[in-house]
Amino acid sequence: MSAAKTGQKSGSATPKRPKTSQKAANTKGPKAKASPPTAAVEPPAPKPAPIVLQVDALTKRFGRTTAVDAVSFDVRRGSIFGFVGPNGAGKTTTLGMVTGLLRPDSGRVHVGEADVWAKPVEAKRLIGVLPDRMRLFDLLTGAQLLYYCGVLHGLDRETARTRTADLARSLGLDDALERPVRDYSIGMIKKISLAAALIHSPRLLVLDEPFEAVDPVSTQLASDVLRRYADAGGTVVLSSHNMNFVERMCDEVAVIVGGRVLARGPMDEVRDGLSLEERFVELAGGRQAVEGLEWLTTFSD
Ligand SMILES: Nc1ncnc2c1ncn2[C@@H]1O[C@H](COP(=O)(O)OP(=O)(O)OP(=O)(O)O)[C@@H](O)[C@H]1O
């Protein structure tokens, strides 16, 4: 199967040639001369967007476990990149190394021109992160948390307040803003974390399972926010176990299994005629027969 390495957005195919108008084609008359056939001039292919995130051969071991094994991928400006894989495949470990939270054993990560591990401050200014197992300052209210995230990222107070209100409205959190974050549900924590990642309007958003436990209406709201952000030139990398969501949302995808990327490229190329879920199951080892669970059908009573 093909695993395209370029980050060209799917759907950015060569523009169609203009159709010859029927009227012009039917013109016949004494003065109408047959013009010699000319070679159709194809317009030049659109220039690919610049690479915002470049990941080269990242590797991480924990004792004898190789969690991430020479993982490489690029993500171009304006695209939404999905990172999918079974439990324990290495997604969180990879995204931790990409965002400067977990030091790799080897390999490089660049965000724009900045090497994440050589110039962490420069790189981190460009990144908004929603890590898995996020620890928040949960004695603060939602409004205070977003305000401080904004101010710590260099926003002035007024801008931080305005953006807090805008994000809360867009993500359906208005009613929760004055409550302490420790009282939030898991889905609400995901939403406030997404808002915190977005508040400084970063170049690159890295979201580890952003919509886990988020209800469908809020998922739709948040998806709209992400699509709008990407259309405006933002870049998103997200991991998720929700294949339908990834298939709908992402321009490109990488499938990681056992620490290795088994397929990556534009969504349609990776799917290869299947749904993403079918392709994922195929790559991740397929369905195994359920054996040795006969006792499960004996019931305790
Ligand atoms: N701090 C750690 N110490 C030891 N092993 C770890 C540590 N972090 C991750 N691992 C191991 O590395 C491998 C990859 O874990 P990782 O959390 O990256 O997977 P994942 O793809 O995010 O999984 P999930 O979808 O279940 O969240 C697993 O085998 C995991 O047990």
Query: What is the reported pLDDT for 264?
Result: 96
Placement of tokens 């290869």 in the chain: 272
Diameter of the chain measured on Cα atoms? 97
CA gap 78, 239 in Å, rounded? 17
* Average confidence (pLDDT) over 216-243: 93
Question: Residue 291: pLDDT above 80?
Answer: no
- Nearest-CA neighbor of 68 among 39, 87, 93? 93
Residue 93 CA to ligand 1 centre (angstroms): 6
Measuring CA to CA, how many Å separate 260 from each of 59, 91, 220? 10, 10, 31
**What is the model's pTM?**
0.82
What is the ipTM for the molecules in this complex?
0.98
Query: What is the reported pLDDT for 288?
Result: 63
- Other Cβ atoms within 10 Å of 273 Cβ, number: 8
69 or 32, which is more confident?
69
Query: What is the reported pLDDT for 39?
Result: 67
The CA R_g of the chain, rounded to the nearest whole Å, is 24
CA gap 58, 225 in Å, rounded? 30
201 or 35, which is more confident?
201
Residue 262 CA to ligand 1 centre (angstroms): 18
| Lowest mean per-residue pLDDT among 2-16, 55-69, 79-93 | 2-16
Residue nearest to atom 26 of ligand 1 (CA): 87
Q: 91: Cβ below 6 Å to ligand 1?
A: yes
* Average confidence (pLDDT) over 175-188: 93
Q: 235: Cβ below 6 Å to ligand 1?
A: no
Q: 67: Cβ below 6 Å to ligand 1?
A: yes
Q: 92: Cβ below 6 Å to ligand 1?
A: yes
Q: Which atom of ligand 1 is nearest to the CA of 208?
A: 22
What would the DSSP string read from start to end of 92-145? HHHHHHHTTSS--SEEEEEETTEETTTSHHHHHHTEEEE-TT----TTSBHHHH
Q: 131: Cβ below 6 Å to ligand 1?
A: no
Residue 184 banded pLDDT, cuts 50, 70, 90: very high
Considering 13-22, 28-37, 245-254, 280-289, the range whose residues carry the highest mean pLDDT is 245-254
Query: What is the reported pLDDT for 76?
Result: 96
Of all residues in the chain, the percent with pLDDT exceeding 70 is 85
Residue 296 banded pLDDT, cuts 50, 70, 90: confident
In sequence order, which residues have a C-beta less than 8 Å from that of residue 114 and are 6 or more positions away?
Answer: 122, 123, 126
- Other Cβ atoms within 10 Å of 164 Cβ, number: 25
Residue 181 CA to ligand 1 centre (angstroms): 27
CA gap 50, 31 in Å, rounded? 51
Residue 38 banded pLDDT, cuts 50, 70, 90: low
Q: Are 76 and 265 in contact (CB under 8 A)?
A: no
Query: What is the reported pLDDT for 25?
Result: 36
CATH 3.40.50.300, applies to 48-126+206-284: yes
- Nearest-CA neighbor of 51 among 258, 294, 252? 252
Q: Which atom of ligand 1 is nearest to the CA of 85?
A: 21
Q: Which atom of ligand 1 is nearest to the CA of 96?
A: 18
Q: Are 147 and 160 in contact (CB under 8 A)?
A: yes
Residue nearest to atom 11 of ligand 1 (CA): 67
Based on the number of CB atoms within 10 Å of its own CB, is 215 exposed (0-12), middle (13-18) or buried (19 or more)? Answer: middle
The residues that bridge with 80 in the sheet, in sequence order, are 236
Packing angle of the helix pair 157-171, 216-231 (nearest 10 deg): 130
Q: 96: Cβ below 6 Å to ligand 1?
A: no
Q: 89: Cβ below 6 Å to ligand 1?
A: yes
- Other Cβ atoms within 10 Å of 144 Cβ, number: 16
Rounded mean pLDDT of the chain?
Answer: 86
Query: What is the reported pLDDT for 18?
Result: 38
Query: What is the reported pLDDT for 47?
Result: 86
Residue 34 banded pLDDT, cuts 50, 70, 90: low
Residue 59 CA to ligand 1 centre (angstroms): 13
Question: Residue 287: pLDDT above 80?
Answer: no
139-162 pLDDT per residue, tens: 999 999 999 999 999 999 999 999
CA gap 88, 228 in Å, rounded? 31
Domain boundaries, the chain: 48-126+206-284, 135-201
Query: What is the reported pLDDT for 9?
Result: 39
Q: 60: Cβ below 6 Å to ligand 1?
A: no
Q: Which atom of ligand 1 is nearest to the CA of 94?
A: 18
Query: What is the reported pLDDT for 1?
Result: 42
User: Amino acid identity, residue 220?
Assistant: Q
